[in-house]
């Protein structure tokens, strides 16, 4: 039962927090990254912040967790804020993106727990099937390395292009072996793609940005990623060394709870999928 599990978490958290407060009684610091303040989590508005706010409003108090949610609309600032301690954790990205970001920016971030998957989909305001995609059509794809490769793999999985052997999840346009429809790819910042959809023949859109644009991945996508075996689960992430912060461990437990899984299923109807 949730009550007993959360009660144990609450007691453990309270004991650690009490010890931390006593040690710092002569000058305690309530900064986001320290265990004597609320856990501040950076998140994309949908679905990440919505899921966190469900936890905050329904589960956190009973578990002894003080949670603050800060919304970000891009894929860079949540990581830099976690790195510099402006926030204690973030929740918006998958492991391939995190790995690519760290290689480029030299950050020291680690994944604590996978929470959910947002299937990537191909959308259009002009066609409703792959067969209707004309020769020379312009297709928008995310311009960051991991989601761009993910988009190309989605198109390859559905027969629109063929990728070279070994291209993998970080495939680029240079890895396209065959392009029978002579598709023209338009790399765009991921958050901008839904707004650009009217100007494109089709576009591959991240699940969270599709939902924000009132698109239903489960219903509106022409094709959509398979959930099974998908490496793109969205993660709770902290700066290295903060993995054992009791607040972080409590939040990780709550995000994997049956209550959160039910909230995801009922709210997003397959557009967001909780992972085990």
- Where on the phi/psi map is residue 179: left (φ > 0), alpha (ψ -120 to 50), or beta? beta
59-110 pLDDT, tens digit per residue, is: 999 999 999 999 999 989 999 999 999 999 999 999 999 999 999 999 999 9
Q: Which CATH number fits domain 39-118+231-274: 3.40.190.10, 3.40.640.10, 3.50.50.60, 1.10.3720.10?
A: 3.40.190.10
Q: Would you say residue 14 has pLDDT above 60?
A: no
Q: What is the pLDDT of residue 35?
A: 62
Q: Would you say residue 16 has pLDDT above 50?
A: no
Find out if CATH 1.10.3470.10 is the number for domain 121-224.
Answer: no
Q: Would you say residue 3 has pLDDT above 80?
A: no
Name the pLDDT band for 28 (thresholds 50, 70, 90). Answer: very low
Q: Which contacts qualify for 73-81: CB closer than 8 Å, 24 or more apart?
A: 73/44, 73/45, 73/191, 74/191, 75/101, 75/144, 75/190, 75/191, 76/101, 77/42, 78/42, 78/43, 78/44, 79/105, 79/107, 79/109, 79/237, 80/105, 80/107, 81/42
Q: What is the pLDDT of residue 228?
A: 80
Q: What is the pLDDT of residue 86?
A: 97
Q: What is the pLDDT of residue 146?
A: 85
Q: What is the pLDDT of residue 171?
A: 95
Name the pLDDT band for 55 (thresholds 50, 70, 90). Answer: very high
Torsion, Cα of 185, 186, 189, 195 (10° steps):
-120
Measured between its terminal Cα atoms, the distance across the chain in Å is: 18
124-154 pLDDT, tens digit per residue, is: 999 999 999 999 999 999 998 889 999 999 9
242-276 pLDDT, tens digit per residue, is: 999 999 999 999 999 999 999 999 999 888 999 98
Q: What is the pLDDT of residue 101?
A: 95
Q: Where are the domains of the chain?
A: 39-118+231-274, 121-224
Q: Would you say residue 209 has pLDDT above 80?
A: yes
121-224 matches 39-118+231-274 in CATH topology: yes
105-115 pLDDT, tens digit per residue, is: 999 999 999 99
CB 191 within 8 A of CB 76: no
Name the pLDDT band for 33 (thresholds 50, 70, 90). Answer: very low
């Amino acid at each position: 039962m949730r009550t007993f599990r959360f009660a144990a978490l609450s007691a453990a958290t309270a004991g650690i927090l009490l010890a931390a407060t006593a040690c710092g009684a002569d000058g305690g610091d309530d900064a986001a990254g320290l265990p004597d303040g609320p856990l501040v989590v950076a998140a994309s508005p949908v679905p990440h912040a919505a899921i966190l706010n469900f936890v905050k409003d329904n589960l956190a108090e009973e578990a002894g967790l003080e949670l603050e949610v800060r919304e970000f609309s891009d894929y860079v600032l949540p990581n830099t804020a976690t790195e510099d301690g402006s926030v204690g954790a973030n929740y918006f990205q998958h492991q391939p993106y995190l790995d690519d970001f760290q290689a480029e920016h030299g950050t020291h971030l680690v994944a604590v727990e996978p929470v959910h998957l947002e299937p990537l989909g191909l959308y259009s305001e002009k066609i409703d099937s792959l067969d209707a995609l004309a020769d020379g059509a312009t297709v928008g794809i995310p311009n960051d390395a991991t989601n761009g490769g993910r988009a190309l793999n989605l198109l390859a999985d559905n027969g629109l292009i063929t990728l070279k052997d070994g291209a993998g999840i970080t495939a680029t346009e240079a890895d396209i072996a065959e392009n029978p429809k002579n598709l023209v790819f338009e790399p765009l910042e991921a958050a901008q793609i839904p707004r650009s959809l009217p100007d494109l023949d089709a576009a591959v859109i991240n699940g969270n940005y599709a939902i924000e644009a009132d698109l239903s991945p489960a219903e509106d996508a022409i094709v959509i990623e398979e959930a099974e075996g998908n490496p793109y689960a969205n993660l709770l992430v902290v700066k290295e060394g903060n993995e054992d912060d009791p607040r972080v461990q409590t939040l990780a437990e709550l995000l994997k709870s049956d209550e959160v899984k039910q909230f995801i299923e009922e709210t997003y109807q397959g557009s967001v999928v909780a992972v085990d």
